[in-house]
Chains A and B, each alone.
Chain A
Amino acid sequence: MQRPEDSLTTPLTSTSQFIQADDDDDLDEEAIPGFAHPTIGSDTPQSAVFDKGKGRATEQLATPTSAAGPARTPTLSGNIGSMPSGVPSSARRTIGGVQVENRFTGVDTLDEPITTTIGRDLLSIYTKLVQVLYPPKGGASREVLRDWDLWGPFVLCLLLGILLSLKAPASQSLGIFTSVVAIISLGSLVVTIQAKLLGGRVSFFQGLCVFGYCVAPLNVAAFVSTFVHLIYVRVPIALAAWAWCVWGKILRTFPAVNFLDGTRIEQQRILLAVYPLLLFYFILAWMIIIQ
């Protein structure tokens, strides 16, 4: 009979690639940065440790705690109960004189419930929204927006279109909705492309993501002015939201202004790169004012 660990480990074929493991054996695997969301990582460190792939699961069979037999092994449930995390070196083997190891590179998302998947995405959108709406909080962890998605911008864009077309006359509401969606999508495309044309080193989708998320303050302004019709209230709110948007976007896209040489856009060209942002956010703010 074949041993269970042989049937479960990935077979080593001639096409397997080996990466030489680090020599430092005191490496703490908890400290290896994964690509998981930070809040999820802190919420569920247990599952992150235990879902280390099939390789880790079989290694546990050799430990004395679960030596009672294969009937007690909880591998079938997909949730290995109480494995101590103090066996980091068990993931390492020596194959052909080269020490290799199975390294944890992310949360195993294959066999999790779909609610967890959706919940993680929603949480990620929420975290980015908070970062955008309150930039000082995001000052330290600006990296969160680096993990881009386009769902948040899409939702924000539709929301702004709906908010603006709600109060419009019936003959114009469809046109307003179309225009808002078109302005945001084409505008983010144009702004990102021209940031690249000016020689900025921004990732394309990251630029789209940041542009879309920075519309969020305008959503707040549109929401407020759906209920408040006083022009004296509306204009300051929309202008404040405009400044808020631009500030948040600049803070994230052009840290070169103050901090580090992020996008590599020179000082003489910062205004050229920022001007389209001012233009697009201003036209959206203006549509909120005259809503």
Chain B
Amino acid sequence: MAYVSIEADERLEEGPEGLQFQSFLDSDNRSSEPGVGNVGSRGYIPDRPGKTSFWQVEHYQPYFDIDTLTVLRRCYSTLIPSKSSYLATHLTPADLYGPFWTLTTLIFSLFVFSSLASSISVYLSDPDAASPTDPLEYNFGLLSIAVGLVYSYGLAVPILLWLGLRYLGVGEWSVVETVALWGYGQFVWIPVSLLCVIPFSAARWTFVGIGFALSGFFLVFNIYPVLATADQKAVRLIAILLVLLHAAIALCFKVLFFSYYPTKGDKSG
């Protein structure tokens, strides 16, 4: 058996600068990705891999790294008009749990309360004919309409807006922030749809109006600063477009889901 002599690594004997103790405690906290802020420090997902591909579930886990109280606070603080920017105060970092489930809850609450309102109005129009054994009247197509309407408004519009602003070179926000802002902004419609069960036309219009005002104010107040950073003044006109779109969606909610009124003696109404 032959031995080959290799040169020994002499750096070890050179002194302390070759091998040193080093603290890695701080560097763990700083290793969170820059795009999603301080997600890594919350520590709900202990062994998240550092770099994941777009198609893996782990890639999206940072956007769901949130706890219950935070989601609730983000939801109800959209109802309170405030001077501070929602993006800066609450969406740090932005999450996707809240927007998605806000929109899904909105779909279901629109359907549930709309069918409740319709059955109440049937009962009120003719209390004698509508015995408890009758099946409640409801229009099932409303569920698919609600799905299409809410998801297209709540997800497609912010993505298109982000793409458009990106094309114009405006805005320093991520698409997740846009979707989160938009999704949380629709939260107000959930209590509005509950209140719209009250079978009076004036009350319903009032509640829909309040909902439109609150969420419209919220969206415009938070999006206008982004639009205002553009060099071209014409970009700010997008805000008017968004308000018109928002009014259209409010009108759609009112007309499609809450147009059942008790009518005396006329069952077809």
Q: List A residues at the B interface (Cβ < 8 Å).
A: 167-168, 172, 175-176, 179, 193-194, 196-199, 229-232, 266, 268-272, 275-276, 279, 282-283, 286, 289-291
Contact = CB atoms under 8 A, between A and B. Distances in A.
16 contacts: A167-B135, A179-B140, A179-B144, A194-B97, A197-B61, A199-B65, A229-B134, A230-B133, A231-B133, A268-B67, A268-B68, A269-B44, A272-B66, A282-B108, A289-B136, A290-B135
Contacts of B68: 268-272
A120 to B, nearest CB: 33
A230 B112 CA distance: 19
Given A172-B140, A175-B140, A230-B133, A268 B112 contact: no
A15 B213 CA distance: 74
A10 to B, nearest CB: 39
Contacts of A291: 135
B67 A199 contact: no
B114 to A, nearest CB: 11
B143 A179 contact: yes
Interface in B210-253: none
Interface residues of B, number: 33
Contact of A231 (B65, B66, B108, B132): B132
Contacts, number: 75
Given A175-B144, A198-B44, A282-B108, 19 more contacts: A168-B140, A172-B141, A176-B140, A179-B140, A194-B64, A197-B97, A198-B64, A199-B44, A229-B134, A231-B132, A231-B133, A231-B136, A271-B68, A272-B97, A275-B101, A276-B104, A279-B105, A286-B115, A290-B136
A58 B45 CA distance: 53
9 smallest A-B Cβ distances: which pairs? Answer: A268-B67, A197-B64, A199-B45, A271-B68, A290-B136, A229-B133, A231-B132, A172-B140, A175-B140
Interface in B86-110: 97, 101, 104-105, 108
B60 interface: yes
Contacts of B133: 229-231
